[in-house]
Structures are given as C-alpha cells and as structure tokens.
Amino acid sequence: MKTFFCAVVLTTIVLLSGGYAYAADDNYAFEDPKQRETFLRLTAELRCPMCQNQNIADSDAMIAHDMRRKVYQLMQQGKSEQEVIEFMRARYGDFVHYQPPVTPATSLLWLIPIGFVLIGGVAFIARRFYSPTDKQEQEGNDEAMALAEANRILEEEK
C-alpha cells in the first residue's frame, strides 16, 4: 500500500512537472502582473500557423517560439493587445487568431445554426397546427387502403 501511494505521488509530480517544462524555457519578465496576464491571454488566443490547431503558448514549433518573442517585444514597446493581434494578422492572415472576424465566408458559421433553429421552429409550428388533421386523414386513408387491400385478397382467395 505504501509503495502504491509513493508511486501515485511520484507519478503526479512527474506529470505535473511535464506541464511546466515548456513554460520554463522562455522566461519573459514583466514588471506589471497585468502585462503578464495579457501576454498569457495573447499567446493562448493566437494560433500557431504551422501546427494543426495549437495556440502559440502550447506549441514548441520554432515559429511559435518566434511569435511569442515577437508578442513580448511588441508589448514591451507599449503596443496594445489589439495592435499585437493586428500585427500578426497582417502577416499570417485571419487564421492566426482564434476569434474569426465576420466575413462572407465565415458568416455561414453563424447563419447555419440560426437557420437550423428557424427551420426547426417552423416545422414544430407546422406540425402543431396542421398535422393532427393531416394525420387523421392519413390514418383514415391508410385504414381505407388496408381494408380495400384485404378485401381484394379475400376476393382473390374465393
């Protein structure tokens, strides 16, 4: 039991320290803790252009290193959060930011869900108000047809 407990503690330590390994390798110093927050937010929001779906804080690709350094440099120059994002956008396109702007191409992302809700709503209302009678009629038809069919078979078997 004791060995098991030790193993669990050790594993936890190893797993936790792994997460810090990359963060330690470039230590950017900030005078203001708020600036540090901004830096962390920016590196989490900017997407590594080379990797498939990783932000630049997570990625160990060289381009992500360089972009983190650039974000830091720009912030030290007193650039605002928005200006840093614009800087990256001018070089790597909208792809680089995890908040896509509304453009004709991306508008589908918002319009399609709204469209589904509208279609669903219309269908719901239509069912609610028109279908009971339709359904009865349909059922009546079905019954009549089944009866006719049964009669036909009976006729045939005679």
Partner 1 sequence: MKKVTLFLIPLVLFAGLVVFLFQGLFSDPRERGSMVVDKPIPAFSLPDLMHPDLHYTPAVFEGQITLLNVWGVWCVTCAVELPYLTQLVEQENLRIVGLYYDQDLDPDFGTKTVTGVQQEVKNMLNRFGNPYSFNIFDVYRDLSLDLGVTGAPEHFLIDQHGVIRLHHVGDINERVWKNKIAPVVAQLKREMGSSDS
> Cα-flanking dihedrals φ and ψ of residue 41, to 5°?
-65, -45
Look up residue 58 and give its two tokens.
Answer: 């997570």
Residue of 49, 54, 58, 81 that binds partner 1 (CB under 8 A): 49
Confirm or reject binding of residue 132 to partner 1 (CB under 8 A). no
Cβ neighbours of residue 87 closer than 8 Å, sequence gap 6 or more? 70, 74, 79
Q: How many chain residues bind partner 1 (CB under 8 A)? A: 14
How many whole angstroms separate alpha carbon 54 and alpha carbon 43?
10
Annotate 73-120 with DSSP letters as a single string: HHHHTT--HHHHHHHHHHHH-GGGBSS----TTTHHHHHHHHHHHHHH
63 binds partner 1 (CB under 8 A): yes
By CB under 8 A, tell whether 98 contacts partner 1: no
Asked if residues 63 and 46 have their Cβ atoms less than 8 Å apart, the reply is no
Q: Which is nearer to partner 1, 25 or 157 (CB)?
A: 25
Among 15, 90, 102, 114, binds partner 1 (CB under 8 A): 90
Nearer to partner 1, 6 or 116 (CB): 116
Please answer whether residues 66 and 119 qualify as being in contact, where contact means their C-beta atoms are separated by less than 8 angstroms. Answer: no
Tell me which of 15, 62, 105, 154 binds partner 1, using CB under 8 A: 62
Based on the shown chain and the rule CB under 8 A, indicate whether residue 29 belongs to the binding site for partner 1: no
> Which residue among 50, 109, 112, 125 contacts partner 1 (CB under 8 A)?
50
Least separation in angstroms between CB 6 and partner 1:
37
Q: Crossing angle of helices 81-92/62-76, nearest 10°?
A: 140
Positions that interact with partner 1 (CB under 8 A): 49-50, 52, 62-63, 66-67, 70, 89-93, 95
